[in-house]
Structure 1
Amino acid sequence: MKGKVIEMRLMSVWIVLTLMWVGCNDEEPTPTEVLVSSLSVRGEFIEDGGSSQMSVIVTPEDATNQKVDWSVSNQEVATIDETGVLTAVTNGIVTVTATATDGSAVTATKSIRVSGVQGPIVLVESISLSVEDITDGREKQFSVEVLPTNATNKDVEWLVSDESIAEISEEGLLKPLKNGSVKVKVEAKDGSGVQTEEEIVITGVADVSDGIVVDNSNDLLSAIANASPGDKIYLRGGNYAFGSTISFNKDGQEGNLISLIAYPNDSERPVFDFSAMSENSSNRGIQLSGDYWYVKGIDVFNAGDNGMFISGSNNLIEFCYFYENSDSGLQIGNGAANNTVLNCDSYYNADSSIENADGFACKLDAGDGNKFIGCRAWQNLDDGWDGYLRGTDNITTTYENCWAFLNGKLKDGSVGGGDGNGFKTGGSDDKLLKHHAVYTNCIAAGNVVDGFDHNSNRGDVVLYNCGAHGNGRNINFGTGNIANSLTIKNTFSFEGGGDSYEATTTDISNNGWQNGLTTNASDFVSVDIELLKSPRKTDGSLPDIDYLKLVSGSDLIDQGVNVGLDFSGAAPDIGPFEFEN
């Protein structure tokens, strides 16, 4: 039994020693390989025709094998070596690809723009210059043709021989400064020495040396505020934004006016833009309280009340446009007298209540002797012309060659809530005031209510050689608050509502509805009212149109009576236009 125990103990020791020996003789285990999971290619565009070092960011950072193979999509654009240096071959775009080499098959790409590669230099061989004389004093764009078409550098330099006569931009836009001859020269910039030149003659440039030229709002306001008799302010074309009323309060003198004139021959008109104004009776655009001003060629847009309000006297307003203002485009009041409004247009004026705003107004407390010549008023919410009086009496206003049409309608052609008359001759709160009015060669057409409207005016009204067509009522002088006198001669009326010609004293003869005459559309070349909107001539005068021009054989030819206006033939024709062979 004792021997068994000893044997068992010896066996246990052997097993322990065997295990210890085995443990002492095991090798270290091989670690697991970490593969690439993603790559990100970095590198700069090539802009100088040279090379760019590409690099790659490997994820994870402890990836076992971080080497990559480099390749490109188009070796005609660029090549890449095993270290990632990308070398330009020609200009273009190439895709660079990095591929992991650890068997993970992970790739990444980046598009690289290659530029600045210089090929063989092709010099300019010839330049053809396309120019022409300038006859209107306006800017002119010139051009060149550079050959061969594949010249490496086709840029040219523009020059003029006399910069006191003209200036020219880097793009070949020539700006005349005064009349004369000047050579326009073009030189190639590629060092080839190729050049050409042509001489042009410049005419039509206005001489503005007698005034100052302004081209921004601050200088304009300063010039107006500091104006003296005889000053001339030439205003360059463009938009001039204002948020408050501009006051013209300096006085010129008879024969020595203060002038604000659009710069001659500019391609765009100067626009006084009052869009920043809110609608309010105190927010007039221009307040002309001075005397002896001459204002020509400006636009007045979107004032909060009148576009221009004239309270001064002996002023001349020519070739101006007044539109989309919140009250009358141009109004004369506060005793203003002897003002002349020449070749001006007023249209689309309306207030937000859709009840008010005339084209032109010589009304309320206006003075005597104001004239409108060659003016047009259309699609004004209230009247084309308003002569309603309050605070003055017994004044005379004259209208020559003026056209009032489509008034009472809005800009979109819909009918508004205004009175809708072409020429409202007068009227007053007490129905007693006298606004004398003389209309010669005037047209009232397509107005919503009346063409020529009495409106309880107690004054003397004269119509010579006028035309009324397609109004609600063409000529309306009723017995209520009757006019003192009404004279109508050489005038026609057709396609309107029932006319009335009442006054205490009347002199109505030789008109298109008398002496057996009948006026209708067949008497005219055209009865298209829209022609009245045709563009004015470049000098601002009314356009030559076919509307209400008499056709050969019309029974209105030579049927008028001499009223002191020019005419041809045996006697004046009836209507605003003499027949032309």
Structure 2
Amino acid sequence: MKTSVEIRNALASAKKGDTILVKKGTYYFCKPLRVNHSGTSQNFIYFLAESERPIFDFSVMQEHPDHKGFLLDQNCWKIKGIKFRKAGDNGMKITGNHNIIEYCDFSENADTGLQIDNGASENLILNCDSFFNADSSIENADGFACKLETGSGNVFKNCRAWNNLDDGWDGYLRENDNIMTTYTNCWAINNGYLEDGTEGLGDGNGFKTGGSDDKDLSHNASYIRCLAVGNIYDGFDHNSNRGKVEIYNCSAYMNGRNYAFSNTNPLEELIIKNSISLDGTNSFNATTTDLANNTWNDDFSVSEADFENLMVEELTAERQADGSLPQISFMHLVSGSDLIDAGVEVDGVEFNGTALDLGAFEF
């Protein structure tokens, strides 16, 4: 596709089995992009960068809730390789089901970069980045949000959120209850700070696990090999979530509080295993807790000497050519660390050596 008009028309007319290829370049849009038809599980609709990733620029939009960049209210679309920036609200809002968003960027939008809402379920967000999102009030834009009336079964994998004004990931609920969201190999870095590094007015959490108006809704969540670094407030945040939260082989470093689960409106269940907390305080309250083989448990200790480096800037390096996370050495364990092979077995989490290591990165 060569022009913004052609892209808009192709999206509106695409039906199951169709593929739309977008050439490199910058495309400007003055109103939200929409789709009219769904694919099927056997015949997705594909909207793909042809080669070099194109930029979709919505900067002409004024800040307004109706001025989203891309509205995906249909099912079974795969969107890959697009950079969405400067929308007047969300860069993308998903209210459909069974969609795949891969290797896309969401930046400088006036609200959350990518939001999943209105019953949307079973969507996969893969190898995506969301950063520098900031509204004019300097307090409400998240990197990613699976929140409010979202459905269950949404998955974030190999995604990064940094320097967003509110949270890296927001799981606050309204109406829907007892849903499940999964996060694997996701990194939340320096949220709560503006692009220039100054502090905003938002919450500044890395992963906000839940929360609700009446403080009674359950957002069940699983975090596997996730990383929370340098967020102003909490790395992993409770926020009155009443559900079950599982944290396996995660690392938190230099957040206001690394792991913050309070005894006010507590979780039903909190499970944390094989995880690291460095340079930050913690609280682990819930109706039921299972905390095993973490650096704050008896017989464990952790220091800077356990890691190859603590250079936070590595975390926002360019992705690899296939969209996978950059190769880094940040918080990778050094040979001889007591944290190697010191973990307990967790179903579905692979390891080298004789047992799982502690933290997000396996030696």
TM-score by length of 1: 0.62
**Counterpart in 2 of 1:577?**
361
Alpha-carbon shift at residue 221 of structure 1 (Å): 1.1
The answer to whether the 8 A contact 2:27-2:56 is kept is yes
**Counterpart in 1 of 2:315?**
532
**Residue 544 (1) aligns with residue 331 (2):** no
Rounded to whole Å, the distance in 2 between the matches of 1:228 and 1:563 is 42
**Counterpart in 2 of 1:417?**
201
Rounded to whole Å, the distance in 2 between the matches of 1:255 and 1:374 is 25
**Residue 482 (1) aligns with residue 273 (2):** no
**Counterpart in 1 of 2:69?**
285
**Counterpart in 1 of 2:213?**
429
**DSSP 3-state at the match of 2:259:** strand
Residue deviations 1:181-208, cap 9 Å, x none? xxxxxxxxxxxxxxxxxxxxxxxxxxxx
Alpha-carbon shift at residue 248 of structure 1 (Å): 2.0
**Residue 304 (1) aligns with residue 88 (2):** yes
**Counterpart in 2 of 1:70?**
none
The answer to whether the 8 A contact 1:388-1:425 is kept is yes
**Residue 236 (1) aligns with residue 23 (2):** yes
**Counterpart in 1 of 2:301?**
518
Instruction: Specify which of 11, 34, 47 is matched with residue 247 of structure 1.
Output: 34
**Counterpart in 2 of 1:263?**
50
Q: Higher RCO, 1 or 2 (CA under 8 Å, sep at least 6)?
A: 2
What is the identity, as a one-letter code, of the residue corresponding to 1:556? L
Unaligned runs of 5+ in 1: 1-213
Matches within 5 A, 1:174-185: none
Rounded to whole Å, the distance in 2 between the matches of 1:518 and 1:215 is 57
The answer to whether the 8 A contact 2:77-2:98 is kept is yes
**Residue 400 (1) aligns with residue 189 (2):** no
**Residue 363 (1) aligns with residue 143 (2):** no
Alpha-carbon shift at residue 515 of structure 1 (Å): 3.3
Rounded to whole Å, the distance in 2 between the matches of 1:525 and 1:220 is 46
**Counterpart in 2 of 1:334?**
118
- Give the percent of matched residue pairs that are identical in Structure 1 and Structure 2: 55
**Residue 219 (1) aligns with residue 6 (2):** yes
Rounded to whole Å, the distance in 1 between the matches of 2:5 and 2:61 is 18
The answer to whether the 8 A contact 1:359-1:384 is kept is yes
**DSSP 3-state at the match of 1:531:** helix
Residue deviations 1:363-392, cap 9 Å, x none? 000000000000000000000000000011
What is the identity, as a one-letter code, of the residue corresponding to 1:410? L
The answer to whether the 8 A contact 2:270-2:289 is kept is yes
- Could you list the structure 1 runs, at least 4 aligned residues long, displaced by more than 2 angstroms after superposition: none
Rounded to whole Å, the distance in 2 between the matches of 1:243 and 1:217 is 10
The answer to whether the 8 A contact 2:339-2:358 is kept is yes
Alpha-carbon shift at residue 362 of structure 1 (Å): 0.1
Rounded to whole Å, the distance in 2 between the matches of 1:464 and 1:389 is 23
Alpha-carbon shift at residue 529 of structure 1 (Å): 1.1
Rounded to whole Å, the distance in 2 between the matches of 1:430 and 1:340 is 29
Rounded to whole Å, the distance in 2 between the matches of 1:459 and 1:517 is 28
Residue deviations 1:11-62, cap 9 Å, x none? xxxxxxxxxxxxxxxxxxxxxxxxxxxxxxxxxxxxxxxxxxxxxxxxxxxx
The answer to whether the 8 A contact 1:249-1:288 is kept is no
**Counterpart in 1 of 2:132?**
348
**Residue 507 (1) aligns with residue 294 (2):** no
Alpha-carbon shift at residue 530 of structure 1 (Å): 1.1
Give RMSD over aligned pairs.
0.7
Matches within 5 A, 1:365-384: 365-384=149-168
The answer to whether the 8 A contact 2:250-2:360 is kept is yes
Task: Specify the structure having the higher radius of gyration (Cα).
Answer: 1
**DSSP 3-state at the match of 1:312:** coil
**DSSP 3-state at the match of 1:447:** coil
